[in-house]
Amino acid sequence: MPHTKLVCTLGPASAERIPALIEAGMSVARLNFSHGTEADHRRTATAVRQAAATVGWPVALMADLPGPKVRLGDLVRGSITLRDGARLLIRGHDAPGDETVVSTSHPALGSDLEVGDRVLLADGAVELRVLAAGDLLETEVVRGGTVRSGAGVNIPSERLTLPAITERDRRALEVALSIGVDLVAQSFVRRAQDLSSLRTLLGRHRVGVVAKLETRAAVEDLAAILEGADAVMVARGDLGVEIPYEEIPLVQKRIVAAALAVGRPVIVATQMLESMTAHSRPTRAEASDVTTAVLEGADAVMLSAETAIGRHPIEAAKAAMRICGFAEANGAAYETRLERSRPFPPPVVADRRPVHGGGLPTEEEAEQRAAWAIASAAADLADRDPHIGALACYTTSGRTAALLSAARPHKAILALSADPVVLRRLALYRGVVAGAAEQPADTDAVVALIDRVARESLGLGTGASVVIVAGSPVGRALTNVLRVHRLG
C-alpha cells in the first residue's frame, strides 16, 4: 500500500461499498455534514467501523462540518440556467427559486454586500455582479451557467458576517461526537481564533481538528492556524473561488511546505480525479495533479464527488492509490526535500498539544527536541541502508509515530498501540501502518513484539533489519531510544 493516505467522501455511491473502498486503500472516511441526514451518517459510520474491524486495520472517521457556507435554496425544477446579462434577484426568505429570483440560507446576505461586489455560484460556475444591495439583492449575470438547488454562494470571506461556528455546525458536531468520529474538519476557517471556538465545543473529547484552508484570510494567517490545528486541508474548491485559479498551485505548495515544516499532517483535496465522477479512467492532468501532491509531501489526497456520488467510486480509489504508489516508487528525484536537521516543534497527536519554544520547562523542552533528533536520525538511517525494511515503534499517545512520519522516511513506519483512538488518528499520517497490541513491559518486550508483528504484517523476512524507536521506560518517557534490530 502506498505511504500517501487516501481520504474518501462517503455518499449514495459508496455507502453500500465501504469494504471495497477500504480494500482499495481508504484510510480516512469523510462524512460530509453539508449533505445527508443524521440517520445516513450514523448508518455510514457504523458500516465503516464494522468493515474496519473485519479487515483488521484502523480507518479514521472524519466529520466535515458545513461551516459558514451560504447556499442557494430549493429551485423549482431542481436546477436553473442563467444567461449572460440577465438580472437575478436574491432574497433571504426560503421559497422555491427560478431564473428571476432565488433564495439563500443566509437571510442577511444583502446586508453583507455592496454595489459592485462579485458573487459566485456553484464554485464559480456562474458569476454575478451586485447592482443594488439590501434585503432584496439585485444582481447581473456576468458569466452564465447552470446551477442546482443547494449550490454554494461565495462572497469575499472578509464580508461574511456569519460566525465561525454556526447553529448548523453545532447540531452537526453533536451528532458527530455521538457517532465517535476521530477528526472534525472545520470549514471556512478565516483565522486561528476560529479553531479555538471549535476546541471549546469539543471539550475533553479526543478528537483532532482539521483546519480547512479555503479562504484568502486563512492563507494569510497560515502560521497561526498551523499552530492551533491538528492537521490542515488544502480545500481547493472554495479556495479557488477566492483566489485566482492561476495562483492555486503555488498556494498549495506554500501550504504543504509550511505544514511539513512544523509536522502537521496535510490533506490535498478537491477535483483530484473529478472526471472519474462520470468516467472509469482519470485524465492525464489528474494523474499529474495527484503525483504533484505526493511529491510535495502531502500526507493524504482526498476524493469528494468521485466516491460520494460518482459512477466509479472503487475505481477512483484504486486509481488514486495506483498513482500515489508509482509516484512514491519512482519520483524520489523530484520530491520536495525535507531538512531533517532543523529544530522542530513536535507534531500534534491524540492527547498532547503541540510544543513550541518557551512553553515548557527547559528540561522537558530539551527532551522534546531530543525526540525529534532521534526520529530524524532513524529516518536517515532507514533511507541510507537498503537492508533496513521498515521503521517501528510502540506508542501510547501516537507522538513517536507522528515524529517518524514528520521525518518523511521512504520506508514504512509500523506503529503499535493498545489505544484504538491513537491507532485511528494515525491513519492520516503518511507512511504509518498502525496495529493493535498490548503495552509491553519494557524495551526488550517492545523489540520482541515488533520482531513478530513486522514479519507477520509487513512481510519482512528473517534477517531483515528494522529501526526501532521507543521511549524507556515504556509508556512513561518521551522518545529516547534508537535501536537497529535484525528480525529473527
| Pairing status of strand 388-394 against strand 432-436 | unpaired
With contact defined as beta carbons under 8 Å apart, do 159 and 215 qualify?
no
Considering only CA atoms, which of 242, 218, 232, 189 is closest in space to residue 62? 232
- Rounded-to-integer distance, Cα 57 and Cα 355, Å: 30
C-alpha cell at 137: 439583492
- Rounded-to-integer distance, Cα 197 and Cα 342, Å: 32
- Rounded-to-integer distance, Cα 387 and Cα 360, Å: 39
Q: Is 270 a catalytic residue?
A: yes
With contact defined as beta carbons under 8 Å apart, do 89 and 101 qualify?
yes
- Residue tagged active-site, from 4, 5, 17, 30: 30
Q: Is 362 a catalytic residue?
A: no
Residue 432 carries which DSSP code?
E
Using DSSP, how many helices (H) and how many strands (E) does the chain show?
16, 22
Place of cell 481520504: 7
Measured between alpha carbons, how far apart are the two ends of the chain, in Å? 24
Q: Is 204 a catalytic residue?
A: no
- Rounded-to-integer distance, Cα 219 and Cα 17, Å: 36
The backbone torsions φ and ψ at residue 453, rounded to the nearest 5 degrees and listed phi first, read: -70, -35
Residue spans of alpha helices (H) in 143-206: 167-179, 192-202
Cis check: omega of the bond before 473, within 30 degrees of 0:
yes
CA 314 from chain centre, in angstroms, equals 20
- Sign of torsion over alpha carbons 187, 315, 257, 408: positive
- Residue tagged active-site, from 5, 17, 91, 212: 212
Quick one: the chain helix, strand, coil %, rounded to 5? 40, 25, 40
Q: Is 30 a catalytic residue?
A: yes
Return the amino acid letter for 30. Answer: R
Torsion of CA 146, 152, 158, 160, to 10 degrees: 120
- Residue tagged active-site, from 9, 104, 215, 270: 270
- Residue tagged active-site, from 49, 71, 143, 199: 71
- Rounded-to-integer distance, Cα 154 and Cα 256, Å: 25
- Rounded-to-integer distance, Cα 234 and Cα 394, Å: 31
With contact defined as beta carbons under 8 Å apart, do 121 and 151 qualify?
yes
Catalytic residues: 30, 71, 212, 270
